[in-house]
């Protein structure tokens, strides 16, 4: 089997722990492990990654006929055929093997890493992680270059953007209904102030206490999280939502500390203290 020419593997920005979810297959996960407050169960990243990769491949071939450099526009049936062919399972397995990622997949039993479905899941999760951490443009460029290593994005051809086609992010959102990607960060905000020292009562309001109280009272509790600032030193913003309604928030250098602060605020706001 010929090893394909691969573009550089994009590095997923932010907390590197996300790589554990990328490279740990569902067959090797402990069902009792906590899910990420940022993206939930890794299967959600898998779904997002598959949609994002398919949309990026679709736009790659869609743009061939609109850039003025690659001939006539492809008819719809050929667009679909090209997308399906470009993301064939055997190609993705080759890519994962070429990047050395296939051999790093943790699964049970270990020889399951040769299973096509296991490798595909890991690839889709990687794409999903790139989408939420790096943004759509990184995904689009990577997928286009995997499809065609000599590819130059249409909006870059000729050194200008005056004849650029629809921006990939706009196309993806309209074609798939996916959420907009994270916007590029400007100057990072000033670091959050240190959380005030916990009082004797606050020390008793732990995540376990909050989650148990919510469950007993019939509430579904979630902790949406986001981060900003440099990847090596992010500031975390975590919200505590009860039945989808935000009731508390926390900001801290540590995601865990921010989550605990948000939970305590929600607990007090509900009058459970």
Using CB atoms within 10 A of its CB, is residue 214 exposed (0-12), middle (13-18) or buried (19+)? buried
Domain with CATH 3.30.160.20 in the chain: 202-269
In this prediction, what percent of the chain has a pLDDT beyond 90? Answer: 41
Q: Tell me the pLDDT tens digit for each residue of 47-85.
A: 999 999 999 999 988 886 544 344 567 888 888 999 999
CATH for the 202-269 domain, from 3.40.50.300, 3.30.1280.10, 3.30.160.20, 3.40.50.620: 3.30.160.20
Lowest pLDDT segment from 35-44, 61-70, 152-161, 179-188: 152-161
Q: With both helix axes pointing from N to C terminus, report the angle between 116-134 and 42-64 in degrees, rounded to the nearest 10.
A: 80
* Average pLDDT for the chain: 81
Q: Look up residue 253 and give its two tokens.
A: 């250098």
Q: Which CATH class is domain 18-176?
A: mainly alpha
| Cα 29 from Cα 108, distance rounded (Å) | 9
The DSSP secondary-structure symbol of 182 reads: P
| Cα 98 from Cα 92, distance rounded (Å) | 10
H-helix or E-strand spanning residue 171: helix 168-176
**Within 10 Å of residue 41's Cβ, how many Cβ atoms?**
14
Domain with CATH 1.10.1520.10 in the chain: 18-176
Q: Tell me the pLDDT tens digit for each residue of 1-42.
A: 555 689 999 999 877 788 889 999 999 888 877 788 888 899
**Within 10 Å of residue 27's Cβ, how many Cβ atoms?**
15
pTM, two decimals, is: 0.58
> What pLDDT score was predicted for residue 121?
96
Is residue 227 scored above 50 in pLDDT? yes
Q: CB of 263 within 8 A of CB of 240?
A: yes
B/e letters for 130-151, b = 16+ CB within 10 Å, e = fewer, are bbbbbbbbbbbbbbbbbbeeeb
Q: Tell me the pLDDT tens digit for each residue of 228-266.
A: 888 778 898 999 999 888 999 999 988 888 999 999 999
The DSSP secondary-structure symbol of 115 reads: S
Picking from 197, 219, 227, 195, the residue whose alpha carbon sits closest to that of residue 267 is 219
């Amino acid at each position: 089997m010929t090893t394909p020419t691969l573009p550089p593997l994009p590095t997923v920005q932010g907390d590197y722990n996300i790589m554990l979810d990328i490279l740990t297959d569902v067959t090797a996960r402990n069902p009792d492990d906590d899910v990420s407050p940022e993206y939930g169960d890794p299967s959600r990243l898998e779904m997002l990654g598959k949609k994002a990769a398919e949309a990026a491949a679709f736009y790659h071939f869609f743009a061939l006929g609109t850039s003025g450099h690659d001939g006539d526009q492809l008819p719809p049936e050929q667009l679909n055929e090209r997308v399906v062919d470009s993301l064939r399972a055997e190609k993705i397995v080759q890519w994962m093997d070429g990047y050395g990622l296939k051999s790093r997949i943790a699964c049970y039993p270990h020889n399951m890493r040769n299973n096509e479905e296991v490798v595909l899941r890991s690839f889709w999760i990687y794409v999903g992680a790139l989408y939420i951490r790096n943004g759509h443009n990184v995904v689009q460029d990577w997928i286009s270059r995997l499809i065609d290593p000599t590819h130059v994005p249409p909006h870059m051809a000729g050194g200008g953007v005056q004849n650029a086609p629809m921006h990939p992010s706009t196309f993806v959102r309209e074609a798939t209904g996916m959420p907009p990607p994270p916007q590029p960060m400007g100057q990072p905000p000033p670091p959050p102030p240190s959380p005030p020292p916990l009082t004797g009562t606050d020390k008793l309001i732990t995540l376990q206490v909050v989650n148990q109280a919510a469950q007993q009272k019939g509430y579904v509790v979630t902790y949406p999280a986001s981060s900003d600032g440099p990847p090596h030193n992010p500031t975390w913003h975590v919200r505590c939502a009860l039945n989808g309604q935000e009731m508390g928030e926390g900001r801290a250098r540590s995601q865990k500390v921010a989550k605990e602060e948000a939970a305590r605020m929600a607990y007090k706001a509900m009058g459970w203290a």
